[in-house]
Structure formats: structure tokens, C-alpha cells
Structure 1
Amino acid sequence: MKQLNIFMPLVAGLTTLSFNAIALDVRAELDRDSRLYTLSWHAEKPVSIVASGELNSSTSIVVGEQLGNTIKTIEWQAPKQDRYTFTFTEQDGEQAVTRSRLLNLEGGRNFRDLGGYETREGKTVKWGKLYRSGALHNLKAQDYALLEELAIQTVVDFRGNSERDNEQTQWQAGDINHMTWDYQLEFDGAAFKEMIMAGRVSEQDMEHAMASMYPGLLNQQKPHYKAMFAELASNDTPLLFHCTAGKDRTGVAAALILHALGVEKEVIMADYVLSEQILRPEDLMGKQDASKEQDPAMAMFARLPKPAIGALMGTRESYLNAAFDEMIAQSGSIDAFIREELGVSDAQIQQLKTNLLY
């Protein structure tokens, strides 16, 4: 059954990150647990809201009609799993269209659409062209039914060999160009183990350790980021890039793409830290099962205090800033890093903007 709840939120509690920057401001968010959509808007006149899905785009669902003309929020329970587009229409006919950033996938891990972000030039990143995610091994049949409608043509997998072996992707949403690399992730587990054994397990210590890891992560992923940009510039079809958690290697990749498209740094950072709001420790560590032997590294991390686990599994601004600082140290600016270290020409940047912005 569909559920519709209407309430008035505090204006100070709203974020403009997902709003369309026009007179009719709208936002759609999906709660990963309840599968409730929260729809928000700011309009001068009453609005009506219609939802349409990817699986049955010919059918529209009226979510609400002639709803209040001040900032309002409603909660809506979708009748079935789908990727919904929400059209808000003001009384005078003005319209705004938006989607939830998080996809409604039962087996998804931090699976998000990068569409809807505005650039400094007043353009907008197209919905349905760029997706970011964590590992795909838990996707269900109904998830793949939805993904097939998204027509993803390329999957860029930043994971190393052992990661791909441990959580194998069994793609079932059409033929794809599956980009992988023969390498092992360089991770200084000894440094983390030494820190934990020495008792330095505060949230601040873990934040410092994570930020210190990002320059090395950036450098190891350079050839992979370079190949991803080349694919984006040469192909105007939907692309998904992912790693294991969908937050570190994937987070830097998303930041690089959004920067190349001209998105402001504060918006890029907001997209990066969003992973911490979506992911939970059990998504990566798994739920404890007394009958099974736990991975030693995960067992070690599981014994950390909760604030330290939060920093380990999180996406703090200092982490991405450490990657940005490394880019600037190497090339003088992020733009120069993209050109010189990732081999993306000015012509390719323009092609990216043509392909991915409207």
C-alpha cells in the first residue's frame, strides 16, 4: 500500500544539496531501511507531484495534488521496487523533475546516481548517466530487473584481484564493458594493527590514519582513473564505477569527475561525505555469526571503540582533502592533475561536458 504523510520541517534543517536551483525547488530522498521516499519542495504556489518508474514508464502515480505553497515535506511509500522520477508541477504550470540519489536496491551497497548536481556554469549533471557503488555481489534478481532498465553499458571495477574473488560480480543486466585490472590493493594493515595494539584507537587517531592513506590510494589508482576518463570521453552511455565499500576509491573517482565537469568543491565534498550517512559497519564487516570464523582483519577492527569504527568506515572531509592536497602537490592544481597525471585533454573535458551535462 502507498503511504503518504505530510509534515512541516524546520527550515534550518533543510539542505539545498539535492534541490533544483530554479524557482520551484524540489528534493527526493530514499530511506534505505523503510524504503520510504521523502519529497520536499519550496514553491510560491501549491504543487502536485506525480511519480513514474523505470520498469513501467507509461504508468504515472499521483503522489499528491495541490499541496501547500510553503516549504513542505511528505513521505511516500512506493507500491513496488522501482527507480522513480518525481515531477513537481506548480499551480501556474512550472515544473521541476528530480530523483532520489540512492537507488532502491535490496542487495545494493551505497549505489547512487551522480545526476542533479549543478556546475559553476549553470549546467546540471544528467541523471541516469553516472552511477557509483560498492561491491555488487549481493544484488538480487529484482535488483537486476531494475538495473536492466537503466541500460548501464560500462562497469568500472576498481577492486583488486582478491577483492573481486571474495565478492564476485555476477552481472545480469545485459552485456557490459567490464573494466578490471590485475593488481592487489596496497593497504598498510601493519600500521593499523600497530596503532590498535598500542591502544591508540581514538576517533582522531583513526581519522589521521585514514587521511594518511589517501595519497597512496590516489597514486595507485591513477591508471584506473585515467582509463575511466578515457571511457567517459569516448562513450556517451551510462557508466557505473565501484570498489568494495563505494566510498574511498570510488569517492575520489566521483570527486575527480564532478570537478572536471565544473561542480563546486563544497558540493563535491557533500557527495563524498554522503557515504557515511548511508553505509553502516555491518555492511562491510558483516553481521557476527558465532558458527563461522570471522576474517582476522575484520575481527580486529570489530574490537575497536564505536567512534574509531565510525572513522574507519566513514568519509570525513579530511580524507578527500588529503587526496586533493596530493593532487595539488604533484601538479599545482586539481585541473592540472587531471590533465597531466590522468591524461585528460581540454578537448576530452569539453566532450565530457557535452555527454554528461545539460
Structure 2
Amino acid sequence: MSRFIPIGDSVNFRHLGGYEGAGGRRTREDALFRGGWFEIADDDDAARFAATGIRRIFDFRSTAEREKRPLGPRIRESVQIHELGISPGSMGPYLQSLRNLPAAEADCKSAMTRMHREMLEEGTPRFREFFARLVGDQGPFMIMCSTGKDRTGVVSALLLSALGVSKTTVLEDYLISADVYRDKELVFARNHGLDALGIDLTLVKDVFTVHPEYIGAVFKRIDEDAGSLERFIAETLGVGSEQRQLLQNAYLR
């Protein structure tokens, strides 16, 4: 089974299966999905989406993002959608600010790293709600945000960690998005209208990809706040040993 699922113009719709987790069991490619915004353009798209068996979508986009690009009726009629909006991860306000910033002062990589660190402040209650809704259910589901790389990447990293996947493998999955968007960064910048704002598109390339430093900032903040990733999952996110066992039984083979 290919890791990627071609639906509409989405390029980062993929499953999270095949990773070694707790007890040597593997994550389920038929139940765990992640991606960015997508639309069902035709009957072929509809058939591909139906084949995933996805019953629930956890949408981490902000309210403004959902209003700008809502999921279409063919999606909303077939799945349950949980709206768990997180603003950090949407770089629109920052990109707008670049209009008046000298090029020498634009450091998008540092801004993205900082944004990932800040994501935990607003995101942690949403992450906790995500796990609370997930525990006890076994149906296929999807994690999504606008491009399927930042907020989706963080939630996927936490989920895989709770399933016992190693940090090395978690990072490898996170960095798949860099391969997905490689050589497409400037296209995405134009699609966001940044050239019309007079922004030098080469300055914003790091907004439309991922780097190890981004997810590294999340893990570092977790260690600072909770002492360890394990304690963060158990105590902050409320996924104790019993809840974790339920997740592993549901989503590992």
C-alpha cells in the first residue's frame, strides 16, 4: 500500500502505518491517516476516500482557516469532524508582517521554530481533547491542518510516541513533509498571494517546509515543562497506562 493517497490537489495525504511501536507491533496503515486540506473533486476521489474507511477527522485549523477553505459537503456528510482549532501553525499574520520588514531581518526558519515551541501553549488543551476522544475508539481517523505538516506533524508525533514508536522514527515521519514540499515551496508561496504583497518569495521558503529544529523545539519545550515526553503524555495529556494500552490495542497490529 502506497503511503500517499491522491485525492484532489492534496499532496500530503498519507497513512501512518508500518512503524514499529510497543511490543514490536506495527502501526496500522488502515486506521491512521494524516494530511492537509483536501477536497473530493470527482467520483474517483470519492472512491479513494471511501476506501480509507475514515470515520472521523480531527481538524486543527483555526476558525478563519476553516471558513476560508471549508471541507466540502461530500466529506462532511460521510465523517464526523472534530474542530480543534489551534492558531499557532497558521503563519498568515507573520507573513503579512514581512511586507514592512527589511530582507536582512527576515528569518523565517527561526520564526517557524519559535512558532512550534509556542504551539504547546494553545495546543496542549486541544491535544488533550484529541486523545480523550480517541481512547476507546478503534475506527480509522485522520489528523489534518492546512498543509498537513506543522500542527498535523506535532499531533502525529505525539500519537506515534504514545503508541511506542521511537523518537527517531517519529522524526523520520515528520520529515516526510519536507520531501513532499521540496521544490514546491515557491509555488505554495505564490498560491498564498505573497508575491502580490511584494514579498521576496525566496525569504519565505522555510515556512513551506519542515526542519528537524521545528519538531525539536516542541520536544525541548515538553522536556522543560513536564520533565520528559513520557510524563507529558501521561500527566499533561491524560494518557496514563490504561489509556495508552487501549490506544495500542486499537492502533497496533
Q: Shorter-chain TM-score: which interval? A: 0.7 to 0.9
Q: Is 1:159 the counterpart of 2:54 in the alignment?
A: no
CA RMSD of aligned residues (A): 2.5
How many Å separate the matches in 2 of 1:198 and 1:266?
37
Residue 314 (structure 1) aligns with: 209
Over residues 290-330 of structure 1, what are the superposed CA-to-partner deviations in whole Å (9 max), with x where a residue is unaligned?
Answer: xxxx74x564485232xx43311111000000001111111
Q: Is 1:356 the counterpart of 2:251 in the alignment?
A: yes
Residue 303 (structure 1) aligns with: 200
Residue 346 (structure 1) aligns with: 241
Deviation at 1:210, TM superposition (A): 0.9
How many Å separate the matches in 1 of 2:43 and 2:198?
32
Of the three residues 179, 187, 210, the one matched with 2:82 is 179
Q: Aligned partner of 2:126: which letter?
A: H
Identity value in percent: 27
Residue 46 (structure 2) aligns with: 144
Residue 200 (structure 1) aligns with: 104
Contact 1:115 1:130 in 2 (8 A): yes
Name the SS of the counterpart of 1:247 in structure 2: coil
How many Å separate the matches in 2 of 1:157 and 1:118?
26
Contact 1:218 1:249 in 2 (8 A): no
Name the SS of the counterpart of 1:131 in structure 2: strand
Name the SS of the counterpart of 1:234 in structure 2: coil
How many Å separate the matches in 2 of 1:201 and 1:300?
17
Residue 19 (structure 1) aligns with: none
Q: Aligned partner of 1:273: which letter?
A: L
Residue 237 (structure 1) aligns with: 139
How many Å separate the matches in 2 of 1:139 and 1:154?
20
Of the three residues 111, 114, 120, the one matched with 1:218 is 120
How many Å separate the matches in 1 of 2:19 and 2:115?
28
Q: Aligned partner of 2:211: which letter?
A: R
How many Å separate the matches in 1 of 2:242 and 2:205?
41
Residue 337 (structure 1) aligns with: 232
Contact 2:186 2:201 in 1 (8 A): no
TM-score, normalisation: structure 2? 0.88
How many Å separate the matches in 1 of 2:64 and 2:74?
22
Deviation at 1:249, TM superposition (A): 0.3
Structure 2 CA distance for partners of 1:332 and 1:140, relative to 1, 3 Å:
farther
Greater relative contact order: 1 or 2 (C-alpha under 8 angstroms, separation 6 or more)?
A: 2
How many Å separate the matches in 2 of 1:240 and 1:301?
36
Name the SS of the counterpart of 1:200 in structure 2: helix
Residue 222 (structure 2) aligns with: 327
Aligned residues: 248
Contact 1:130 1:240 in 2 (8 A): yes
Ranges in structure 1 where 5+ consecutive residues have no aligned partner: 1-98, 288-293
Deviation at 1:133, TM superposition (A): 0.5
Deviation at 1:224, TM superposition (A): 2.0
Deviation at 1:245, TM superposition (A): 0.8
Deviation at 1:232, TM superposition (A): 2.0
Structure 2 CA distance for partners of 1:322 and 1:209, relative to 1, 3 Å:
same
Q: Aligned partner of 1:335: which letter?
A: E
More helix by share: 2
Q: Aligned partner of 1:208: which letter?
A: S
Which of the two has higher C-alpha Rg?
A: 1
Name the SS of the counterpart of 1:172 in structure 2: helix
How many Å separate the matches in 2 of 1:324 and 1:168?
31
Residue 88 (structure 1) aligns with: none
Over residues 245-290 of structure 1, what are the superposed CA-to-partner deviations in whole Å (9 max), with x where a residue is unaligned?
Answer: 1000000001001111111111111111111111223664455xxx
Name the SS of the counterpart of 1:216 in structure 2: helix
More strand by share: 1
Contact 1:109 1:135 in 2 (8 A): no
Over residues 210-230 of structure 1, what are the superposed CA-to-partner deviations in whole Å (9 max), with x where a residue is unaligned?
Answer: 101112112212222112212
Which region of structure 1 is more displaced relative to structure 2, 114-123 or 163-172? 114-123
